Amino acid sequence: MADLTQDQIEKILEGVVDIYTEIDIVSSHAVDSITIDGDKVTVDILLGYPAQGYHQALSSAITDALSAAGINNATVNIDTKIAAYSTQKGVDILPEVKNIIAVASGKGGVGKSTTAVNLALALQAEGAKVAILDADIYGPSQPRMLGVSKLRPDQSAEGKLLPILGHGMQSMSIGYLVDEESPMIWRGPMVTQALEQMLRDTLWRGVDYMVIDLPPGTGDTQLTLSQKIPVSGSVIVTTPQDIALIDAKKGLKMFEKVNIPILGIVENMSLHICSNCGHEEAIFGKGGGKAMAEEAGVNFLGALPLEMEIRTDVDEGTPTVAKDPDGRVAEIYKEIARKVAAKLTQQDKAMGAFPSITIE
């Protein structure tokens, strides 16, 4: 074919849509560079979110589009650069942490903590540097879920706590600082102060995403989060059950009122498949999470089945994404992680990401 130009290549690439941002890769500025050497074309893609499990499919979509236009000698390179995105106004940023994602539920017992830890591990598996903060002071569960409940954090020379590593991921929880069976008999102000201290007095290092596992409800901890912690977005966890959905809607409305973007809704325990006969049964109802997302105009991120292994994996300290990274359930969590991170890229970048200007 005639000598290729960059404009011709860009025109072809406008037909390739990123399935997670739902925007073509040219409009989303994912095309970092195009190199043309005779009939050989090299396309460098720079995604703003971690998606290692999507790289092959995206690369194939690009080469297929080029091939359909008669360009058969194409190379596609895909890399990731994660930016910091905007948070509530007037809240101090957290050094070394680019983005904070709050995982919340209106009520307990819907699998929020299990979802939070698997979401965090899925983001890590997709290529991001991740931390998790257990903000449930009264009922911390992340130390046990990460298999590190017997560890205690060391202190740096400056007196800051060093995060505990669980499955390669930085973590902090009140559960590391007190005995597992000791009840936290604290009033609200003590709880909120403890949350702030764990967040700001921990020596986090190079975190792309911090997942905060919130306690259920819309109380003191959630209010502290909205007023004093720079949150980039939130994820609501619910079951299809009507009672759970009523409370989940309260959590969703709370984030709307405090101007924290809602990245989407996860429906947990959506379907049970009998391990003996294979019969499928929607024990807690059907389609409630998806209907709630449509009603609220937010993303439906995915549905997790009601499976015993998801529960036993976290009880053993090896969440499903870590224990069976190539399994069906782990892939659902990774799909949710890609959707969450991609949704975040559609927000404004944080002002701190802008270059400073020096006049000489």
The tens digit of pLDDT for each residue in 92-123 reads 889 899 999 999 987 788 889 999 999 999 99
pTM tops 0.95? no
Residue that finishes a domain, picked among 47, 80, 113: 80
Exposed, middle or buried, 79 (CB in 10 Å: 0-12/13-18/19+)? exposed
Please indicate, yes or no, whether residues 275 and 230 belong to a single structural domain of this protein.
Answer: yes
Domain span at residue 63 reads 6-80
Please indicate, yes or no, whether residues 121 and 30 belong to a single structural domain of this protein.
Answer: no
Q: How many other CB atoms are found less than 10 A from the CB of residue 307?
A: 17
Measured in whole angstroms, the distance separating CA 132 from the mean position of its chain's CA atoms is 10
Q: Could you report the per-residue pLDDT of 62-89, keeping only the tens digit for each?
A: 999 999 999 999 999 999 999 999 988 8
* 130-134 vs 207-213, strand pairing mode: parallel
In the chain, how many domains are there? 2
355 falls within a domain = no
Please indicate, yes or no, whether residues 76 and 119 belong to a single structural domain of this protein.
Answer: no
Contact of 168 with 135, CB cutoff 8 Å: no
Residue with tokens 């007037």: 90
Give the model's pLDDT for residue 75.
95
Q: Could you tell me the pLDDT band of residue 351, with boundaries at 50, 70 and 90?
A: low
Weakest mean pLDDT among 42-51, 208-217, 320-329, 334-343: 208-217
Q: How many other CB atoms are found less than 10 A from the CB of residue 271?
A: 17
pLDDT at position 355 over 60: no
87 falls within a domain = no
Q: Quick one: which of 304, 343, 348, 350 has its CA closest to 327?
A: 304
Q: Could you tell me the pLDDT band of residue 265, with boundaries at 50, 70 and 90?
A: very high
DSSP H or E stretch at residue 220: helix 220-228
* 171 vs 89, higher pLDDT: 171
Question: Residue 28 belongs to a domain with what CATH number?
Answer: 3.30.300.130
Please indicate, yes or no, whether residues 261 and 292 belong to a single structural domain of this protein.
Answer: yes
Please indicate, yes or no, whether residues 13 and 62 belong to a single structural domain of this protein.
Answer: yes
Please indicate, yes or no, whether residues 270 and 311 belong to a single structural domain of this protein.
Answer: yes
Sequence-distant (≥ 6) Cβ neighbours of residue 77 within 8 angstroms: 42, 43, 44, 45
For 49-75, the three-class secondary structure string (H helix, E strand, C coil) is CCCHHHHHHHHHHHHHHHHHCCCCCEE
Q: Quick one: which of 325, 336, 321, 256 has its CA closest to 289?
A: 336
Q: How many residues comprise the chain? A: 360
Please indicate, yes or no, whether residues 308 and 339 belong to a single structural domain of this protein.
Answer: yes
Question: Residue 210 belongs to a domain with what CATH number?
Answer: 3.40.50.300
Contact of 85 with 343, CB cutoff 8 Å: no
How much is the average pLDDT of 318-346? 96
Give the model's pLDDT for residue 292.
87
160 falls within a domain = yes
* 298 vs 279, higher pLDDT: 298
Give the model's pLDDT for residue 183.
75
Residue that finishes a domain, picked among 80, 111, 136: 80
350 falls within a domain = no
CA distance 94 to 336: 25
Contact of 84 with 352, CB cutoff 8 Å: yes
Q: Could you tell me the pLDDT band of residue 9, with boundaries at 50, 70 and 90?
A: very high
360 falls within a domain = no
How much is the average pLDDT of 16-31? 96
Please indicate, yes or no, whether residues 23 and 102 belong to a single structural domain of this protein.
Answer: no
Please indicate, yes or no, whether residues 244 and 325 belong to a single structural domain of this protein.
Answer: yes
Please indicate, yes or no, whether residues 65 and 174 belong to a single structural domain of this protein.
Answer: no
Q: Which residues of 80-112 are buried (b: 16+ CB within 10 A; e: fewer)?
A: bebebbbbbeeeeebeebbbbbbbbbbbeebbb
Please indicate, yes or no, whether residues 308 and 235 belong to a single structural domain of this protein.
Answer: yes
DSSP H or E stretch at residue 142: helix 142-145
Helix (H, G, I), strand (E, B) or coil at 155: strand
Q: Could you tell me the pLDDT band of residue 193, with boundaries at 50, 70 and 90?
A: confident
331 falls within a domain = yes
CA distance 102 to 124: 16
86 falls within a domain = no
How much is the average pLDDT of 45-57? 97
Please indicate, yes or no, whether residues 189 and 44 belong to a single structural domain of this protein.
Answer: no
Instruction: Give the range with max mean pLDDT: 42-51, 235-244, 345-354.
Output: 42-51
Q: DSSP states of 233-296 as a string?
A: EEEEEE-SSHHHHHHHHHHHHHHHHTT--EEEEEE-S--EE-TTT--EE-TT-SSHHHHHHHHH
Instruction: Please say whether the dihedral angle defined by the alpha carbons of residues 96, 102, 108 and 111, taken in this order, is positive or negative.
Output: negative
Q: Could you tell me the pLDDT band of residue 254, with boundaries at 50, 70 and 90?
A: confident
Cα radius of gyration (the chain): 22
178 falls within a domain = yes
